[in-house]
């Protein structure tokens, strides 16, 4: 008979895309829940990631997630240092600054391609490596071998005007996640796509929550990264009889 473990409170979690918002909140919560946590970023020496290492024993790794060789090295290193991941979160927006609010005529093709490469292609690389390893995991008490979660955006659901490059990227991620879910869920790997239909307001030094473009959070009008992380952990813990594929998160005042 296959061995079983409780992967909701033990095992390894990898968050790809390191920053002060969703990634940091996931790393803190996963660690507090008993998982050994790794975070990968192009710049792993960011102060927020150093703090995660010091306070939560989170391992930091340098990685350009849009490069196949970097992803291969990352997963090899995480397995060697911590073990095979049971939970992998791809949390990369991918937009280059010059592509914001550009009409289809104005949008620079090179920037559009870089946005797609950073987010959708990196999601493919991360999902591919995660699936390859998780299929070798023994099933836990729930019959699950692992969980792969893709952070997405409202552009995954609707293509806004002046946002063609990002809409293309987000809907590609949705298609990737859906295809992976249909292939992997019958093999014991839970795949979830989570569009965040809002700006994400994360904690500032003065105690407020803010987003670089949307300003300061007022009356919970922006998504709270700590509660996004709670949703991700709950997805990881779901019973396989009711695995959710797509969970859309938005604040109570968001117009949709």
User: Tell me, what's the pLDDT at 214?
Assistant: 60
* pLDDT on residue 1: 34
pTM, to two decimals: 0.93
Task: Look at residue 5 in the predicted model and tell me its pLDDT.
Answer: 45
What pLDDT score does 220 carry?
Answer: 87
User: From first to last of its 256 residues, what are the pLDDT tens digits of the chain?
Assistant: 334 445 455 799 999 998 899 999 999 999 999 999 999 999 999 999 999 999 999 999 999 999 999 999 999 999 999 999 999 999 999 888 888 889 999 999 999 999 999 999 999 999 999 999 999 999 999 999 999 999 999 999 999 999 999 999 999 999 999 999 999 999 999 999 999 998 887 777 777 776 766 668 778 888 999 999 999 999 999 999 999 999 999 999 998 8
Residue whose tokens read 């150093």: 50
**pLDDT of 2:** 38
**pLDDT score recorded for residue 190:** 98
Q: How far apart are CA 52 and CA 58, in angstroms?
A: 6
Supply the pLDDT for residue 215: 64
197 vs 250: CA distance, rounded Å = 5
Q: Residues 193, 230: contact at Cβ < 8 Å? A: no
CA distances for 52 relative to 73, 92, 167, angstroms: 22, 18, 32
Q: Compute the distance between CA of residue 188 and CA of residue 43 in angstroms, rounded to an integer.
A: 33
Question: How far is 43 from 130, CA to CA, in rounded Å?
Answer: 22
CA atoms within 13 A on the CB side of 164: 12
CATH 1.10.760.10 matches 12-242: no
pLDDT of residue 4: 44
Distance of CA 157 to the CA centre of its chain: 17
Say if CB 35 and CB 56 are below 8 A apart: no
């Amino acid at each position: 008979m296959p061995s079983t473990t409780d992967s909701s409170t033990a095992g390894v979690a990898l968050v790809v895309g390191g920053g002060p918002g969703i990634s940091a909140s996931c790393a803190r919560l996963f660690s507090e829940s008993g998982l050994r946590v790794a975070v990968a970023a192009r710049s792993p020496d960011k102060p927020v990631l150093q703090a995660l290492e010091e306070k939560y024993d989170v391992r930091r790794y340098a990685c350009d997630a849009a490069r196949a060789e970097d992803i291969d090295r990352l997963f090899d290193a995480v397995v060697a240092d911590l073990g095979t991941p049971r939970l992998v979160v791809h949390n990369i927006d991918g937009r280059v600054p010059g592509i914001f609010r550009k009409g289809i005529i104005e949008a620079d093709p090179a920037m559009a391609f870089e946005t797609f490469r950073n987010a959708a292609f990196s999601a493919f690389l991360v999902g591919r490596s995660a699936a390859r390893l998780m299929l070798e995991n023994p099933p836990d008490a729930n019959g699950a071998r692992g969980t792969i979660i893709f952070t997405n955006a409202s552009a995954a659901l609707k293509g806004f005007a002046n946002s063609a490059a990002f809409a293309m990227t987000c809907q590609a991620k949705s298609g990737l996640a859906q295809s992976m879910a249909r292939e992997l869920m019958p093999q014991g790997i839970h795949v979830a796509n989570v569009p965040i239909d809002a700006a994400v307001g994360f904690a500032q030094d003065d105690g407020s929550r803010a987003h670089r473009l949307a300003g300061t959070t007022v009356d919970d009008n922006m998504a709270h990264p700590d509660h996004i992380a709670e949703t991700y952990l709950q997805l990881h813990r779901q019973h396989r009889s009711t695995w959710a594929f797509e969970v859309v998160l938005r604040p109570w005042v968001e117009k949709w």
